[in-house]
Amino acid sequence: MPVDIAVVGSCNLDLVVNVEHIPLVGQTVLGGDLQQIPGGKGANQAVAAARLGKSVAMVGRVGDDENGTFLQTILEENGVNTEYLLRTASIPTGVALIAVQSDGDNVIVVSPGANSELSPEDVMDALPILEAKMVLLQAEIPIETVLSAARVAKGTVIWNPAPAPEETIPLELLDLVDVLIPNQRELELLTGIGTINSLEKIIETVKTLPCSSTIVTLGAQGAVVMANNEAVHIPAPEISPIDTTAAGDSFCAAIAESLVDGKDLVEAAQWAVQVGAATTLAAGAQPSLPTSEEVAQRLKNG
């Protein structure tokens, strides 16, 4: 039976330390106890969409090691189909080093490991990608693999270009993407346009992209939806975040979930800003991803 959403992307073990302040270059700081948490933008988006009630398959690669088994088990416990989660014998599972400071902001360094072995051939025949209503992509796997998945997808292609790829993006990929979801920084890097620091500039920049629809996430400022040459700003709920890790991931999952349900992009973004905000009210990547009921509860209490 085809799934609602196929996620093609990364699985990482997050090594997380809470710190008072993120260190400056050359500075050493002492933090709290080390936590080992399931993460990776791809796996986070898969788990988030499953917790929001959709059927989901994860297409990716982990190492043939304990961390890979741990990440696969967590995906399965959340009801995510892992038939196309492949193992790479010679390379370890991806790892992310994360420091979270007291206001919830973070810095992340990813060692991609097996994620970088997910090849165009791995994805071009993967049934969930061919059959799913939505195909959700990020940028922690090789760009040619993202392109290959976008080429074979029959459903709506959603691309969250995070982290912003260093290499030039093939124009064909932007053409194949139905909904692009960058944050402000990713939009800057993707377009090569300098600092984008106003709503007007965001709108002007998005208009230069060939994608049919774009949603730019703005953190505490919400999001801007650009579709049919019209821009709509969606404000975010006012909250005091604990940990912003994976807020962008649950936002993307909520967009895919809403589009499966037939909502339009503005309705989808109105829900997604709430899901993203609720995610920041709990700690850790996958542990923080809310169900639909938890979104309302957390925002009421937070």
Strand order of the β-sheet with 106-111 is 35-39, 12-18, 94-100, 106-111
Q: How far apart are CA 46 and CA 204, in angstroms?
A: 32
Q: Which residue, 41 or 54, has its beta carbon nearer to ligand RIB?
A: 41
Pick the closer one to ligand RIB by CB: 6 or 246.
246
Distance of alpha carbon 185 from alpha carbon 161, whole angstroms = 10
- Residues at the site binding ligand RIB, with contacts judged by CB under 6 A: 10, 12, 14, 39-41, 44, 96, 108, 110, 140, 245-246, 248-249, 285
Task: Give the phi and the psi of residue 97 in degrees, each rounded to 5.
Answer: -100, 120
Q: 2: which residues sit within 8 A by CB, 6+ positions away?
A: 127, 128, 131, 132, 133
175 among known catalytic residues: no
Which residue in 125, 243, 249, 261 is the catalytic one? 249
Residue 245 to residue 284: CA distance in whole angstroms: 6
Q: Which is nearer to ligand RIB, 237 or 287 (CB)?
A: 287
Give me the least distance between CB of 252 and ligand RIB, in Å please.
10
Q: How far is the CB of 167 from ligand RIB (least distance, A)?
A: 18
CA 242 to mean position of chain CA atoms:
19
Specify the residue, 10 or 82, whose C-beta has the smaller distance to ligand RIB.
10
Residue nearest to ligand RIB (CB): 39
Maximum pairwise Cα distance, the chain: 53
Rg for the chain, CA atoms, rounded: 18
Q: How far is the CB of 282 from ligand RIB (least distance, A)?
A: 14
The minimum distance between CB 108 and ligand RIB, in angstroms, equals 5
**What count of other Cβ atoms lies within 10 Å of the Cβ of residue 25?**
4
Residue positions annotated with a catalytic role: 249
